[in-house]
Homo-oligomer: A and B are copies of this chain.
Amino acid sequence: MSNLLSPDLQPSLCGPLLEMERLVLRQSIEVEHWFRSQWRVHPPPFYASVDLRNACFKLAPVDTNLFPGGFNNLADSALPVAVQALMSAIEHHCPDIRRVLLIPENHTRNQFYLSNVAQLAELLRQAGLEVRIGSLLAEIAEPTRIQGQRPDGAEFSLLLEPLVRQGARLGLKGFDPCLILLNNDLSAGVPTILQGLSEQRVFPPLHAGWSSRRKSEHFEAYRQVAGEFAERLQIDPWLIDPYFERCQDIDFHSRVGEGCLAEKISQILARVRTKYKEHGIQKTPYVVVKANAGTYGMGVMTVKDPSEIIQLNRKQRNKMAVIKEGLAVSDVLIQEGVHSYETVRDGAGEAVAEPVVYMIDKYVVGGFYRVHSERGPDENLNAPGAKFVPLPFASGCQQPLSHEDPDAMPNRLYLYGVVSRLALLAASREIEATHPAARGKS
């Protein structure tokens, strides 16, 4: 799964964040009670993954993925917990079902992604469901067997089948599922064949796909969640919440909207400088500019000064202008950059790492470090060349150790799990707020 042997992880915390961790550990009963009460009102998404950044003085989610694509990177020891969480998700969302149709992304040549699909399908089978895989690709006109090999050498095999639409139901030839589980983030829009499936359950709901989802709406919901959580703990919400702003109607090619970008970048940098001063942090603030819809680390840029926006060369503009599926970027999120001071040591030296936490239903089931040896602590690690090291969840992310010090790994992972679940709760509220019916009302 990784070429990095014996990773030397040092997820340290300092200053006010270390104090916050102590508070969270001390009040974990209240924290868990609050989560339980929140899930009753805001049911968690079926699954999600959260990219965290740990700057020692700050720990925050920077991306929440509702179509997680790295189940293949979980440690083997995480799989029983994942199966049990899937059983719980099924029990809550759809206890009466037997058959699930999994719809993956269209990358039929990406061995990493395909092994994720194979892993997810196997976990669903082990949770007691009949699973088949339907492809949105027009070229899959016949059931097509794909053989692959995981980075660790294990072989896998997938059968991709053409989708069959009949009236309001979607299925495969001879397979009429009760649940349609999307592992396709709908970046290219919602295909007609997925629309109006009124008789089947579709998770995540279509409006959670990137054709309509906006990161700014997620982080708006997260700001509220983090605010409520921080108030309960009597901490500064900034410790877990990155500032963000949004610019719309941007055209990187024709340099439309540069004014908005430069202004928002200035504003965020100024606010971060104030916070750094307040907490005595000797670091250079930066912001991350990224497409407000989309994923795969495309259309992402690190900026330390607003003037950089004006000075972008043609190549840089092109890189920002287009993301996955060739979509043009006109809606942009400007997010406070959170340094990553976690490193993984490999043969060649230290590489910057960021934790990615996986959740199914309301449970943290595992995660991994995304590691990039050619990127700095203030850069996006979700880029070609990234490697993955399973998080050392030997005792699970849900278990604080009441008798150990806050620096103990299980307690650090517990804090990661808490912050990730705050993002999960934000995603739940975001999906509620952006439901077409809810939008119609407002």
Chain A contact residues, CB within 8 Å of chain B: 28-33, 35-37, 39-40, 76-77, 79-81, 83-85, 87-88, 90-91, 95-99, 122, 125-130, 363, 393-396, 398-402
State in angstroms the CA–CA spacing of A81 and B33 once bound together.
Answer: 19
Knowing A96-B37, A363-B87, say if A396 contacts B80 (CB, 8 Å).
yes
A-B CB contact pairs (8 Å), 17 listed: A28-B128, A32-B128, A33-B96, A36-B90, A36-B95, A36-B96, A37-B96, A77-B77, A79-B399, A80-B398, A80-B399, A83-B399, A84-B85, A84-B363, A88-B88, A122-B402, A126-B399
State the Cβ distance, A96 to closest chain B Cβ, in Å.
7
Query: Which residues of chain B come closer than 8 Å to A363, judged between CB atoms?
Result: 84, 87
Q: Determine whether the beta carbon of A81 is less than 8 Å from that of B81.
A: yes
Q: Give which listed residue, B31, B80, B125, B129, contacts A128 with CB less than 8 A.
A: B31
Knowing A84-B84, A87-B363, A363-B84, say if A29 contacts B396 (CB, 8 Å).
no
State in angstroms the CA–CA spacing of A97 and B30 once bound together.
Answer: 10
State in angstroms the CA–CA spacing of A363 and B85 once bound together.
Answer: 10
Query: Which residues of chain B come closer than 8 Å to A30, judged between CB atoms?
Result: 98
Q: Determine whether the beta carbon of B88 is less than 8 Å from that of A37.
A: no
Which residue of B is nearest A157, CB measured? B403
State in angstroms the CA–CA spacing of A84 and B398 once bound together.
Answer: 8
Query: Which residues of chain B come closer than 8 Å to A88, judged between CB atoms?
Result: 88
State the Cβ distance, A416 to closest chain B Cβ, in Å.
15
Which residue of B is nearest A94, CB measured? B36
State the Cβ distance, A99 to closest chain B Cβ, in Å.
8
Q: Determine whether the beta carbon of B79 is less than 8 Å from that of A395.
A: yes
Query: Which residues of chain B come closer than 8 Å to A32, judged between CB atoms?
Result: 87, 127-129
Query: Which residues of chain B come closer than 8 Å to A130, judged between CB atoms?
Result: 29
Which residue of B is nearest A34, CB measured? B128
Query: Which residues of chain B come closer than 8 Å to A85, judged between CB atoms?
Result: 84
Identify the interface centre among A31, A84, A99: most chain B CB within 10 Å of its CB: A84
State the Cβ distance, A293 to closest chain B Cβ, in Å.
33
Query: Which residues of chain B come closer than 8 Å to A35, judged between CB atoms?
Result: 128
State in angstroms the CA–CA spacing of A324 and B174 once bound together.
Answer: 59
Query: Which residues of chain B come closer than 8 Å to A398, judged between CB atoms?
Result: 80, 83-84, 87, 126-127
State in angstroms the CA–CA spacing of A79 and B393 once bound together.
Answer: 11
Q: Give which listed residue, B31, B76, B80, B402, contacts A393 with CB less than 8 A.
A: B80
State in angstroms the CA–CA spacing of A31 and B79 once bound together.
Answer: 21
Which residue of B is nearest A129, CB measured? B29
State in angstroms the CA–CA spacing of A81 and B85 once bound together.
Answer: 9
State in angstroms the CA–CA spacing of A29 and B131 once bound together.
Answer: 10
State the Cβ distance, A374 to closest chain B Cβ, in Å.
34
Query: Which residues of chain B come closer than 8 Å to A90, judged between CB atoms?
Result: 36
Which residue of B is nearest A35, CB measured? B128
Q: Determine whether the beta carbon of A36 is less than 8 Å from that of B91.
A: yes
State the Cβ distance, A12 to closest chain B Cβ, in Å.
23
Q: Determine whether the beta carbon of A395 is less than 8 Å from that of B84.
A: no
Q: Determine whether the beta carbon of A128 is less than 8 Å from that of B29.
A: yes
Q: Give which listed residue, B31, B79, B395, B401, contacts A76 with CB less than 8 A.
A: B395
Query: Which residues of chain B come closer than 8 Å to A29, judged between CB atoms?
Result: 98-99, 128-130
